[in-house]
């Protein structure tokens, strides 16, 4: 549904986005990850028709962006970075304006405005000028505006930035609950958010696409993926753990005394470890399987590109 080919954007000599190529199909919830200045927002601005690409091609719903921008924009809901709005308006006036521009008829308009106000919990601020709202509420107004016309494609630039934990949760649920035939693209700096809501991750650094796969695959790149961490009540001989088949490495963290066993690629070692613990009657008080550590994978991928 979204086809991007060799997309580039130059600001003067500076290449903010370099030769991006990807397709996104309905049902995909894509997370854009990347360091500051990576080109995430710039890419989104081109996908929404705000910036004209310096090179390459964007096709959305079988229409070319440079020819049918308006038709495409009707299908897109967009939350720009920083959630800009018209500050002198109240959220209610603002949503009314957006609904009119989006061509919603009066009955439909009322219904949709009530729905989104419900979804992002705007009741208490509906009649205050947006300028006077707190950062999180401003973000929610922007979000409400983006989903108002129930778009097929939702592009959200850092949607949960500045939201309280309850609201973060709410927004993630909202994204998950969107009909299964929609396209959602979010950018975020919260790595956990990606495994929580996305089924596809793109890591962009210095304008280049460095990783494009599922969150699980990203996790599996972590050294900690499926590693087993345990803690002993008192110290005893644990060298046997390191010799178990499938265990590649063992690390003991000095401060907490936690022991981590790293598996060889694609092996589950949990059952072996628990068996061994039972046999030797090791005084284990904590034991869990690691999920993979995204921050470390993120660092590896984005720094790796610099070397």
Ligand X SMILES: Nc1ncnc2c1ncn2[C@@H]1O[C@H](COP(=O)(O)OP(=O)(O)OP(=O)(O)O)[C@@H](O)[C@H]1O
Using CB under 6 A, list all residues that contact ligand X: 11, 16, 34, 36-42, 81
Site string for other proteins, 125-144 (x = CB under 8 A): ----x---------------
Q: Which two tokens stand for residue 134?
A: 């707190």
Cα 264 from Cα 114, distance rounded (Å): 53
Interacting residues with other proteins between 19 and 78 (CB under 8 A): 45, 48-51, 70-71, 73-74, 76, 78
Burial class from Cβ neighbours inside 10 Å (0-12, 13-18, 19+) for residue 221 reads middle
Interacting residues with Mg ion between 75 and 114 (CB under 5 A): 81
Helices (H), 48-199: 69-75, 91-101, 106-119, 135-147, 165-177, 191-197
Interacting residues with other proteins between 92 and 121 (CB under 8 A): 93, 97-98, 100-102
- Is residue 41 a contact residue for Mg ion (CB under 5 A)? yes
Cα 21 from Cα 7, distance rounded (Å): 6
In sequence order, the 6+-apart residues with CB closer than 8 A to the CB of 267 are: 226, 246
Closest by Cα among 297, 121, 38, 287 to 192: 297
From the list ligand X, Mg ion, other proteins, none, partner contacted by residue 16 (C-beta under 5 to 8 A by kind): ligand X
CB-CB contact of 253 with 260 (8 Å): yes
For Mg ion, which is the closer residue by CB, 38 or 171?
38
From the list ligand X, Mg ion, other proteins, none, partner contacted by residue 87 (C-beta under 5 to 8 A by kind): other proteins
Q: Give the total of residues touching other proteins (CB under 8 A).
A: 28
For other proteins, which is the closer residue by CB, 104 or 230?
104
Chain residues binding Mg ion by CB under 5 A are: 40-41, 81
Residues that bind other proteins (CB under 8 A): 45, 48-51, 70-71, 73-74, 76, 78, 80-82, 84-89, 93, 97-98, 100-102, 129, 145
């Amino acid at each position: 549904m979204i086809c991007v080919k060799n997309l580039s954007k130059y600001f003067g000599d500076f290449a903010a986005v370099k030769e991006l190529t990807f397709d996104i199909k309905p049902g995909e919830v894509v997370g854009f990850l990347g360091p500051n200045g990576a080109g995430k927002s710039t890419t989104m601005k081109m996908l929404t028709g705000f910036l004209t690409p310096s090179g390459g091609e964007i096709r959305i719903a079988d229409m070319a962006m440079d020819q049918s921008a308006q038709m495409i924009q009707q299908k897109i809901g967009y939350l720009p970075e920083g959630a800009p709005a018209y500050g002198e308006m109240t959220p209610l006036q603002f949503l009314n304006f957006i609904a009119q521009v989006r061509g919603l008829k009066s009955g439909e308009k009322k219904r949709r405005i009530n729905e989104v106000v419900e979804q992002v919990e705007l009741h208490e601020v509906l009649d205050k000028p947006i300028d006077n709202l707190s950062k999180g509420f401003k973000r929610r107004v922007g979000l409400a505006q983006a989903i108002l016309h129930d778009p097929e494609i939702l592009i959200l630039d850092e949607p949960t930035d500045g939201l309280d934990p309850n609201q973060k949760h709410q927004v993630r649920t909202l994204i998950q609950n969107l009909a299964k035939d929609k396209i959602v693209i979010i950018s975020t700096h919260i790595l956990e958010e990606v495994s929580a809501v996305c089924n596809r991750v793109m890591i962009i650094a210095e304008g280049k696409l460095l990783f494009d796969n599922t969150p699980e695959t990203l996790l599996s790149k972590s050294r900690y993926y499926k590693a087993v961490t345990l803690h002993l009540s008192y110290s005893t001989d644990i060298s046997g753990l390191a010799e178990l088949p499938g265990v590649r490495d063992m690390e003991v963290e000095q401060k907490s005394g936690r022991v981590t066993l790293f598996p060889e690629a694609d092996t589950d070692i949990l059952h072996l470890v628990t068996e061994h613990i039972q046999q030797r009657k090791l005084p284990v008080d904590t034991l869990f399987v690691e999920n993979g550590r995204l921050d470390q994978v993120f660092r590896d991928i984005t720094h790796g590109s610099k070397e």
